[in-house]
């Protein structure tokens, strides 16, 4: 059974992650340097930065496009994206209808 914790007012759940030796060493060095208090903070910050980079990439591509979708993707958007990825991985590269 997964344990939950509260971090900055938000519920968290544990996630086991396997890292290469180099990545593990890097995470530990970030904590040793004092930049982060623990390994969890390093991983959470890395994921937040990934999210921000995706938003920025989307804005660069669609920022000036008047027909660009606004806000977060809907469940239908997510389903279309997943279907497109599955088609691509299956060798079919059909364009999904959104």
Q: What is the pLDDT of residues 76-91, one digit of tens each?
A: 888 888 888 888 888 6
In angstroms, the first-to-last Cα distance of the chain is 38
Query: Torsion over CA of 5, 10, 13 and 15, rounded to 10 degrees?
Result: -120
- Residue 59: how many CA atoms within 13 Å on its side-chain side? 8
Are 96 and 84 in contact by the 8 Å Cβ rule? The answer is yes
Give domain limits for the chain: 5-64
Q: Residues, the chain, total?
A: 98
pLDDT at 66 over 60: yes
pLDDT at 45 over 80: yes
* 20 band by pLDDT with thresholds 50, 70 and 90: very high
Instruction: Report yes or no on whether pTM surpasses 0.85.
Output: no
* Mean per-residue pLDDT over the chain, rounded: 84
Higher pLDDT, 14 or 71: 14
């Amino acid at each position: 059974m997964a344990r939950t914790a509260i971090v900055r007012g938000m519920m968290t759940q544990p996630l086991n992650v396997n890292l290469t030796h180099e990545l593990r060493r890097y995470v530990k060095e970030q904590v040793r340097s004092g930049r982060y208090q623990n390994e969890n903070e390093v991983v959470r910050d890395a994921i937040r930065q990934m999210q921000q980079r995706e938003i920025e990439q989307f804005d660069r591509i669609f920022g000036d496009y008047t027909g660009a979708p606004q806000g977060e993707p809907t469940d239908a958007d997510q389903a279309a994206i997943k279907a497109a990825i599955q088609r691509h991985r299956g060798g079919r590269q059909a364009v999904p209808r959104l």
